[in-house]
Amino acid sequence: MPFKKGFLRRVTIRMRHGLETSKQAAEEDGTQIERVDRTKKRKGATIRKGDSPEMIEQMRAFCLASARCGVQGLVQEFMEIKKSTPPPAQLKKTAFDKNTDKNRYKDVYCTDDTRVVLTYPPGCDNDYIHANWVDIRESKHKFICTQAPKTNTLVDFWRMVWQEKSKAIVMLCNIMECGKKKCEQYWPANVGETQTYGPITVKNLKNVQAEKMLTVSQLEVSSNSEPPLSVEHMFWNNWPDRGVPENYLACFRLLARLKNYTHIVVHCSAGIGRTGTVVGLEMAMQAFMAGEKLSMVDVVKELRRQRPGSVQTDVQYVYMHRCIIGLSENKKAVKREEMSSFMEQFDQLLKIRGCILAPNIPPTTMTARGAI
């Protein structure tokens, strides 16, 4: 579906006007793109085993429907999702309002009904952290979507990890982005290093460069005389602020690493943009695996019901479709020529939005003190 003349430019102008008038830092999670080295092609990736015919059929149907709708139609879909989002006045966010110093962004809300309530250690009078549970139907996975730790929430973050026995932490932002601090160095970056956060002690046992963009640290977390907790910290080191990666299978490889975990902590800076994109793709995959028809509108609405504001931008929304198209092509559910028009439209969207190339920064420079 070709773009109507001036459509994306008008949408872009409206979005820029909104950014200029609100100046809210929470919108710093969403509209650039990272370019990868095209000279190195990954050999055929098997993302998940046991694909059923029903799954492949539904993936194909979703891709063809996306192609018929076109990128312009998906941009309009996302605008309708935003319009249907309840205004702040209708959200029950008592704890959020009472703990303004612990919120990274004043317009990224943590609602009471799904928030993680801190109970550890017993007798502690502070039960608040900017984090929400996200349940996925018919899945053993429960995600904790949270903001990047601040200086005054480092202890709270590790209290949460210990309390919920979260054995996997996914970090989708960098310590510094575009000259701004987006996250505290909340874990010991160097092998053998130990840090203490209130009643919690964290030791770095091992760092592995699992992929060019993914650093995995094996952490030992302990408290008092209780048995230690083994935690895998997965740091995606080059997902750009305001951006989406161009590698459309990377999110699925990350999700495949999480398949054996239950309580999974995921964060970017605000905990809704990049975080919502990854968790939303897992929700989509669960629908496919159940042989169900996928509605991305319903996925994002359900995600936002549990973690308000998830999937911040239309580019992220369209990117989720592009990822599924990439995976479907990988699984031979669709052919590239069937989706070529959609891919061209997506590239055009990125170009019109002025998406810049992310610098190829070595992973060792991405943390406050170096990781490897």
Residue 219 within any structural domain of the chain: yes
Give the three-state DSSP class for 10.
helix
Residue 259 within any structural domain of the chain: yes
Over the stretch 88-131, which tens digit does the pLDDT of each residue have? 999 999 999 999 999 999 999 999 999 999 999 999 999 999 99
CATH at 246: 3.90.190.10
Over the stretch 242-268, which tens digit does the pLDDT of each residue have? 678 888 999 999 999 999 999 999 999
Contact 171, 267 (CB under 8 A): yes
Over the stretch 174-199, which tens digit does the pLDDT of each residue have? 999 989 999 999 999 999 999 999 99
Residue 275 within any structural domain of the chain: yes
pTM of the model: 0.85
The domain in which residue 86 lies consists of: 25-35+46-365
Over the stretch 339-366, which tens digit does the pLDDT of each residue have? 999 999 999 998 888 764 344 333 333 3
Residue in the structure block whose two tokens are 């602020």: 241
Please report the pLDDT score of residue 16 as a whole number. Answer: 52
Please report the pLDDT score of residue 225 as a whole number. Answer: 85
Whether 145 sits among the annotated catalytic residues: the reply is no
Which of 110, 145, 183, 268 is catalytic? The answer is: 268
Domain count, the chain: 1
The mean per-residue pLDDT over the stretch 292-313 comes to 97
Residue 19 within any structural domain of the chain: no
- Tell me what the pLDDT averaged over the chain comes to: 87
Helix (H) or strand (E) segment spanning residue 17: helix 7-22
Residue 329 within any structural domain of the chain: yes
Residue 99 within any structural domain of the chain: yes
Residue 57 within any structural domain of the chain: yes
Over the stretch 128-137, which tens digit does the pLDDT of each residue have? 999 999 999 8
Please report the pLDDT score of residue 130 as a whole number. Answer: 99
